[in-house]
Amino acid sequence: MSIIDLFKKKKEACARAAVIGLDGVPYRMISSLAAQGVMPVMAELLKDGYACKMDSSMPPVSSVAWATFMTGVNPAKHGIFGFMDRRRESYGIYFPSAKQIRSPALWDILTGAGKTTVAVNIPQTYPAREINGVIISGFVAIDLEKAVYPHKLVEALKAMDYRIDVDYQNADERKEDFFKDLFYTLRKRRETFLYLLDKVPWNLFIGVFTGTDRLQHYFWDDYENTGSPWRRTILEYYRAIDTVIGEMIEKMRGDTALMILSDHGFAHLEKEVFINAWLRKQGYLQLKNDLPRSFDDINVEATKAFALDPARIYINLKGVMPQGSVSPGLEYEQLIKDITDGFLALRDEETGKPLIARVFRKEELYTGPLIDKAPDLVLWSAQGYDLKGAVSKDTLLGKGRFTGMHTQDDAFFYLKGLAPLKVKPHIQDLAPTLLRLLGLPVLPDMDGRPLV
């Protein structure tokens, strides 16, 4: 059975909006590739709409950013603070899924309004749940059977050899195999996008390319280095994505509103900064042994603070943590000040550059009923320094496999036909903007503002 055979319903005539996601592609990169002729479709689109830099979530990781995009609210309302989170009853950590999102997503709102959504490959949507339309979950979806609604689509996707994600582990050691898989996954993504655009009635279509993020983590320096033997292949990949975007647009009616975005930006990674290593050195984090491998090795009774990826610091506060060691009030405030001052004073000994640009208290970033789940502090790194929460590292600085890192302030935003904006958009503005484009009311609880 093909995907085409699964949907025979006549298309509806109503307001429609389409969203194309380019995971992790910064504004300056798309602008440059369009100007160079690598992405001619994007170059034409930029003549008939408005594109600009957009602020992403804090921290700027895909799980938080895409949850913010789909709900229009901040993490203290939707509940996703990072790829990993801590359990309330213990110090264990777990991987939050779509089940932990506490605010309605766009497709929930459209379902309630009797409208149809097709959402393909959006991170933080696994497991797929019942909606009026289609969901094919993106990263991290571990089982296709649970990643697809309606379930009858699974058979057709398997027959197509659909890929949830690229095999990107250790891509720097197997470059030819990685790029082969990258292009193959793109072909399968294209096939799925075009079928669903053409054959399923929809009011809102969202399709996300995530191979861009995988590529840039390992090959950002190859992209920036004009002498790299892999740069031509990278440009070919973006040219191929541009072609797919053009094919997708051809499947849309002329009255379809078109939005293109990235969930965060990207930049060169100079060094990695291991936050827990600094907390250990200062005595705030105590471990049970000298060779820790996971958070199970934390001595919670003696610990005052610990960090989760990428830069979230939790105070071991009495009354909040199961075995809290820090008293509320003066002790808590002094610890917050000492940790903040300590991180802001850090410098790269080789270059003299600061490692941390700013330290936020949770009240500066978040507001909502789930703020008690939020980290007490969130670090914003200086340019080129990628923050990590591993407990196994005993040195402050290091360098791993990645050459590219996420950034918060240069995500990409484009809306066809939009006049120039007077203020910089935030990713939480996009859900209310889409509701406005579809003629639906903006939920009063949303933090974002409509851009139209």
Check whether 2 has a pLDDT greater than 60: no
The pLDDT mean for the chain works out to 94
pLDDT of residue 92: 83
Q: Whole-model pTM? A: 0.94
Check whether 9 has a pLDDT greater than 50: no
Counting beta carbons within 10 angstroms of the beta carbon of residue 37, is it exposed (0 to 12), middle (13 to 18) or buried (19 or more)?
exposed
Going along the chain from its start, the domains and CATH numbers come out as: 17-269+405-437 (3.40.720.10), 271-398 (3.30.1360)
CA–CA separation, 413 and 68 (whole Å):
15
pLDDT of residue 294: 72
- Written as six digits, the tokens of 408 are 């918060």
3-state secondary structure of 29: helix
Work out the pLDDT band at 389, boundaries 50, 70, 90. Answer: very high
pLDDT of residue 125: 98
φ, ψ (nearest 5 deg) of residue 125: -120, 10
pLDDT of residue 216: 98
Q: Are 104 and 71 in contact (CB under 8 A)?
A: yes
Check whether 431 has a pLDDT greater than 50: yes
